[in-house]
Amino acid sequence: MGAIQNKVAGPVTDELALVQAAKRGDDSAFEELVRRYDRNVFRIAQHITQNREDAEDVVQEAFLKAYGNLAQFQEQSKFYTWLVRIAVNEALMKLRRRKPERTVSLDEDIKTEDDSLPREIADWSPNPEQQYTQAELREILSKTIQGLPPGFRTVFVLRDVEGLSTEETAAALELSVPAVKSRLLRARLQLRERLSRYFQRREPGNGKNDGVRGEDVKNKDVASGDGNL
């Protein structure tokens, strides 16, 4: 006679059901939550810290804090939004430790009256990303987003990469909805401006940009973050 199988009442797919099971001490339910969101937390953390080891630490610390504080989690909000808030705070702490000379805050009102006004109006190639190899493209995107202030890139990542709504982003970052909207607009426009240097339509045969693709990636000063747009 075989051992009595634990009854598995079908996969628990609902987030709230998983959270409630985890609160009752079901570690496999918590592990499922880790599986569900670890990639997102890692991406967010690396976007904020710009450092792979820090991002790994943030993933561990964020889930550990979530686990230790599950009892305090109010189930009116989404677990994922709550987890993102913990992860963002952990990532910002890492950034502060790494760059103590600079104030790193989501609340800082970055005084850039016209930093987002478009200056580079040239159109892009039809499929600009195809001008580069995958590795080159990743380097361009990574360096470009590094040049944004942390408060801008965090909003951009949550809204446009992770797909959180404006309200969820505001809740996760403890910002007002207008503040999220304003930062998102400026982040999008600044990224657009910086990417234009790589992706603008090139006139065929003028030789101006021929054969300098790799050098372009290396030489463009996209990571300066000095507001020199």
Of 8-16, 97-105, 192-200, 216-224, the segment contacting another protein by CB under 8 A is 192-200
From 1-9, 100-108, 117-125, 214-222, span contacting another protein (CB under 8 A): 117-125
User: Residue 110 or residue 122: which is nearer to another protein going by CB?
Assistant: 122
Of positions 29, 36, 42, 136, contacts another protein by CB under 8 A: 42
Q: Measured from the CB of residue 101, what is the shortest distance to another protein in angstroms?
A: 25
Q: How many binding residues for another protein (CB under 8 A)?
A: 53
Any contact of residue 129 with another protein (CB under 8 A)? Answer: yes
Residue 93 in contact with another protein, rule: CB under 8 A: no
Give the whole-angstrom CA distance, residue 30 versus residue 196: 43
Residue from the set 93, 161, 223, 229 that interacts with another protein by CB under 8 A:
161
- Span of 13-21, 29-37, 202-210, 211-219 interacting with another protein by CB under 8 A: 29-37
DSSP the chain: -PPPPPP--S----HHHHHHHHHTT-HHHHHHHHHHHHHHHHHHHHHHH--HHHHHHHHHHHHHHHHHTGGG--TTS-HHHHHHHHHHHHHHHHHHHH-TTS---SS-----TTTTS----PPBPSSGGGGS-HHHHHHHHHHHHHTS-HHHHHHHIIIIIS---HHHHHHHHT--HHHHHHHHHHHHHHHHHHHHHHHB---TTS-SSTT-HHHHHHH---S--SS--
Which stretches of the chain bind another protein, using CB under 8 A?
25, 27, 30-31, 34-35, 38-39, 42-43, 46-47, 55-56, 59-60, 63-65, 67-69, 71-72, 86, 117-118, 121-124, 128-129, 137-138, 141-142, 145, 156, 160-161, 163, 166, 181, 184-185, 188-189, 191-192, 195-196, 199
